[in-house]
């Protein structure tokens, strides 16, 4: 298994964006992260499945622009068949469409204003097999049958922010420490911690971290 500096798997990411500038910007952002490898970059929806397969990518980070939605829907099944998780990066105007793609197999979506840490957390969560969307956004329930969740599976997917909170819990941070690390109020940090525990079905912080480790969201 490939190992990143954080002790977990080195995640191979393919970047998709029709715009060369957007593609280069995303690739540069990801290359700054030690736990990620930019395996390939592409700007052709039709050619992506072969690129994903040949690069042995784990996750595709796709910036789908206005006017590309219909074509993306047509090629998404082939991207998924190539063996990668697909994470979308969109603006607010595309969130309703993006949420619908989760029902078709996409792993989730982010908004373009999200920072590097949130994008990294989302990629790691997608690689671990979780579906995610920004807090407050609706995610449809897939219509296809799903197997019963394994032991310690999430009751509800964590948001990228909640994944960050979980990892700070694993570092032993208090609510005040989490607030300082994330630049939020202590009240908001407490709310996030409560939400993480509820979604993991955990009674304590220690139990939440244990479930996070077993789920692949936390690497100790």
Q: Are 22 and 101 within one domain?
A: yes
The band of 59, judged by pLDDT with boundaries at 50, 70 and 90, is very high
Q: In the prediction, which pLDDT does 36 show?
A: 87
Q: In the prediction, which pLDDT does 134 show?
A: 61
Number of domains in the chain: 2
* Rounded CA separation 134/28 (Å): 23
Q: Are 191 and 99 within one domain?
A: no
Position 40 pLDDT exceeds 90: yes
The contacts of residue 192 (CB under 8 Å, 6+ apart) are 161, 162, 165, 178, 184
| 54 or 6, higher pLDDT | 54
Q: Are 77 and 175 within one domain?
A: no
- Domain containing 111 — which CATH number? 3.40.50.2300
Domain contains 1: no
Residues pairing with 60 in the sheet: 14, 86
Q: In the prediction, which pLDDT does 145 show?
A: 39
Q: Tens digit of pLDDT for each residue in 97-117?
A: 888 888 888 988 888 777 777
Position 156 pLDDT exceeds 80: no
Residues pairing with 56 in the sheet: none
Domain contains 4: no
Q: Are 33 and 119 within one domain?
A: yes
Position 150 pLDDT exceeds 50: no
| 80 or 121, higher pLDDT | 80
Q: Are 18 and 101 within one domain?
A: yes
Q: In the prediction, which pLDDT does 218 show?
A: 76
* Rounded CA separation 196/16 (Å): 31
- Domain containing 176 — which CATH number? 1.10.10.10
Q: Are 16 and 115 within one domain?
A: yes
Q: Which two tokens stand for residue 21?
A: 């500038």
* Rounded CA separation 19/197 (Å): 40
Mean pLDDT within 59-64? 93
* Rounded CA separation 205/84 (Å): 32
Position 141 pLDDT exceeds 90: no
Q: In the prediction, which pLDDT does 13 show?
A: 95
Q: Are 122 and 169 within one domain?
A: no
Q: In the prediction, which pLDDT does 220 show?
A: 56
Domain contains 135: no
Q: Are 75 and 165 within one domain?
A: no
The bridge status of strand 85-90 relative to strand 59-63 is parallel
Domain endpoint, select from 82, 107, 127: 127
Q: In the prediction, which pLDDT does 211 show?
A: 84
Residues pairing with 108 in the sheet: 87, 132
* Average pLDDT of the residues of the chain: 80
| 129 or 63, higher pLDDT | 63
Q: Are 50 and 104 within one domain?
A: yes
For residue 101, the enclosing domain spans 11-127
Q: Are 119 and 164 within one domain?
A: no
Domain endpoint, select from 106, 127, 148: 127
Q: In the prediction, which pLDDT does 155 show?
A: 57
The pLDDT > 70 percentage for the chain reads 84
Cβ atoms of residues 42 and 14 within 8 Å: yes
Position 3 pLDDT exceeds 50: no
Domain contains 204: yes
């Amino acid at each position: 298994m490939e190992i990143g500096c954080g002790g977990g798997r080195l995640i191979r990411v393919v970047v998709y964006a029709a715009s060369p500038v957007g593609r280069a910007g995303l690739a540069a952002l990801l290359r700054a992260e030690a736990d990620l490898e930019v395996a390939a970059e592409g700007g052709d929806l039709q050619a992506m499945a072969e690129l994903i397969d040949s690069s042995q990518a784990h996750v595709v980070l796709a910036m789908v622009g206005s006017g590309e939605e219909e074509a993306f829907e047509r090629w998404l099944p082939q991207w998924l068949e190539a063996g990668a998780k697909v994470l979308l990066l969109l603006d607010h105007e595309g969130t309703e469409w993006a949420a619908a793609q989760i029902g078709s197999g996409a792993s989730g979506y982010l908004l373009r204003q999200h920072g590097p840490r949130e994008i990294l957390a989302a990629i790691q969560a997608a690689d671990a097999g979780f579906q995610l969307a920004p807090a407050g956004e609706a995610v449809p329930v897939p219509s296809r049958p799903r197997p019963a969740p394994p032991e310690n599976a999430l009751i509800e997917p964590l948001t990228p922010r909640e994944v960050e909170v979980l990892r700070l819990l694993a570092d032993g941070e208090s609510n005040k420490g989490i607030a300082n690390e994330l630049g939020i109020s202590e009240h908001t940090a407490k709310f996030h911690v409560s939400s993480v525990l509820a979604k993991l079905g955990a009674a304590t912080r220690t139990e939440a971290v244990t479930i996070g480790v077993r789920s692949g969201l936390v690497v100790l």
